[in-house]
Amino acid sequence: MDSSCIDEISSSTSESFSATTAKKLSPPPAAALRLYRMGSGGSSVVLDPENGLETESRKLPSSKYKGVVPQPNGRWGAQIYEKHQRVWLGTFNEQEEAARSYDIAACRFRGRDAVVNFKNVLEDGDLAFLEAHSKAEIVDMLRKHTYADELEQNNKRQLFLSVDANGKRNGSSTTQNDKVLKTREVLFEKAVTPSDVGKLNRLVIPKQHAEKHFPLPSPSPAVTKGVLINFEDVNGKVWRFRYSYWNSSQSYVLTKGWSRFVKEKNLRAGDVVTFERSTGLERQLYIDWKVRSGPRENPVQVVVRLFGVDIFNVTTVKPNDVVAVCGGKRSRDVDDMFALRCSKKQAIINAL
DNA sequence: CGGTGTGTTGAA
DNA sequence: TCAACACACCGG
């Protein structure tokens, strides 16, 4: 099924893309006869029948692509309109690049039925990607020419569907096409104890789970030295932990590397760490975590001061979201900043 | 100083 | 909504 565009975009948040700064009114144009020097490939050269001189046309060559406009230097701009306002999508060397950028923006702004330049602008994975990002973010990527990279990274992250012990789906994303879904089996979960996130720098793996899923090569030097195990987190980051058996406490533990995980994820006692393994051939191990379930006694209050305006967001959030240390996870605040920044002109207009 | 992208307009 | 046109202004 070819669905090149996303279904419907819930733009609950009002997003504005007007100019970042209000410009002064430009004076009336004086000399209309100026010739424009256009870059290589951009200029249309015409032969003047009057004197036979070769003159450069001052008209810029128009593009056959929708949303693509010529630039004086021979490059191409991409733009889309929304709510009586132009949204600039950046400049590009090739018309086709600009056209693709327009297509992507069109799909994000107008949904699957948007009129676009090329068919199959979007691969299957793009749908979820677009859905997962705000218009502002998509525009930003287009302008910075980073859309392709971001998309690739996102796809590499391999959204998955987890499978519990009964083989029952309890997974996260459903918008991804099945062919990119990687199934994982949840091996076990553990609500971390105070000492797991304390200065002992180790995580105790409950014996039953350790012996079942992470068997150590029995009585050998390995018992004392332990082994290194790699786990991948939801952001695709690989965590390497030393895994060993402590005779003193007769327990299996993750040691070296664990404290870094605790620190980066801001793990707290009661949070639940999940260990998973892909069901495919590669048997890749994964690690994830979630905040302790149940009510929080103290909701975290986030206050962002932006352009002299305090933005309150009183809610229960992961520590991760507060400090935005989670590399791959996007914070909605970015959008809000963009929207606010771009609404400056709107405010000025309204004031007139 | 080159180029971007905004102001602006008229057509669709 | 859209492209065309002109050029103010911004970053290098």
3-state SS, one letter per residue, for chain A: CCCCCCCCCCCCCCCCCCCCCCCCCCCCCCCCCCCCCCCCCCCCEEECCCCCCEEECCCCCCCCCCCEEECCCCCEEEEEEECCEEEEEEEECCHHHHHHHHHHHHHHHHCCCCCCCCCCCCCHHHHHHHHCCCHHHHHHHHHHCCHHHHHHHHHHCCCEEEECCCCCECCCCCCCCHHHCEEEEEEEEEECCCCCCCCCCCEEECHHHHHHHCCCCCCCHHHHHCEEEEEECCCCCEEEEEEEEECCCCEEEECCCHHHHHHHHCCCCCCEEEEEEECCCCCCEEEEEECCCCCCCCCEEEEEEECCEEEEEEECCCHHHHHCCCCCCCCHHHHHHHHHHHHHHHHHHHHC
Strand C at less than 7 A from CB of A84: yes
Amino acid A82 reads: E
- Above 80 in pLDDT, residue A248? yes
Contact A65, A50 (CB under 8 A): no
Tell which CATH classification among 1.10.150.530, 2.30.40.10, 3.40.50.720, 2.40.330.10 matches the domain A185-290.
2.40.330.10
Strand C at less than 7 A from CB of A69: yes
Strand B at less than 7 A from CB of A41: no
Residue A121: what pLDDT? 66
Q: How far apart are CA A185 and CA A203, in angstroms?
A: 21
Residue A234: what pLDDT? 85
Q: Which nucleotide is nearest to A18 (CA to C1')?
A: B6
- Above 70 in pLDDT, residue A224? no
Query: Which of A143-147, A231-235, A292-296 has the least mean pLDDT?
Result: A292-296
- Above 80 in pLDDT, residue A327? no
pLDDT band at residue A149 using 50, 70 and 90 as cut-offs: confident
Q: Which nucleotide is nearest to A82 (CA to C1')?
A: C1
The stretch A282-311 carries a mean pLDDT of: 59
| Per-residue burial over A268-291, b = 16 or more CB atoms within 10 Å of its CB, e = otherwise | eeebebbbbbbbeeeebbbbbbeb
A301 vs A124, higher pLDDT: A124
Q: How far apart are CA A108 and CA A116, in angstroms?
A: 11
Residue A314: what pLDDT? 36
The stretch A307-336 carries a mean pLDDT of: 37
Question: What would the two tokens of residue A160 be?
Answer: 């998955």
Matching CATH topology for A68-144 and A185-290?
no
Tell which CATH classification among 3.90.180.10, 3.30.730.10, 3.40.30.10, 1.20.1560.10 matches the domain A68-144.
3.30.730.10
Reported as a single tens digit per residue, the pLDDT across A171-198 is 444 444 333 456 788 999 999 999 999 9
Chain C nucleotides close to protein (CB under 7 A) are 1-10
> How many angstroms is C1' of C8 away from CA of A343?
21
Strand C at less than 7 A from CB of A64: no
pLDDT band at residue A337 using 50, 70 and 90 as cut-offs: very low
- Nearest residue to nucleotide C3, by CA–C1' distance, is A69
- Above 80 in pLDDT, residue A243? yes
- Nearest residue to nucleotide B4, by CA–C1' distance, is A91
pLDDT band at residue A296 using 50, 70 and 90 as cut-offs: very low
- Nearest residue to nucleotide C10, by CA–C1' distance, is A21
Task: Residue A5: name the closest of A119, A87, A162, A89 by CA.
Answer: A119
Residue A292: what pLDDT? 81
Residue A27: what pLDDT? 34
pLDDT band at residue A123 using 50, 70 and 90 as cut-offs: low
- Nearest residue to nucleotide B3, by CA–C1' distance, is A73
- Above 90 in pLDDT, residue A102? yes
- Above 80 in pLDDT, residue A148? yes
Q: What residues does each domain of chain A span?
A: 68-144, 185-290
Residue A219: what pLDDT? 60
pLDDT band at residue A217 using 50, 70 and 90 as cut-offs: confident
Chain B nucleotides close to protein (CB under 7 A) are 2-8
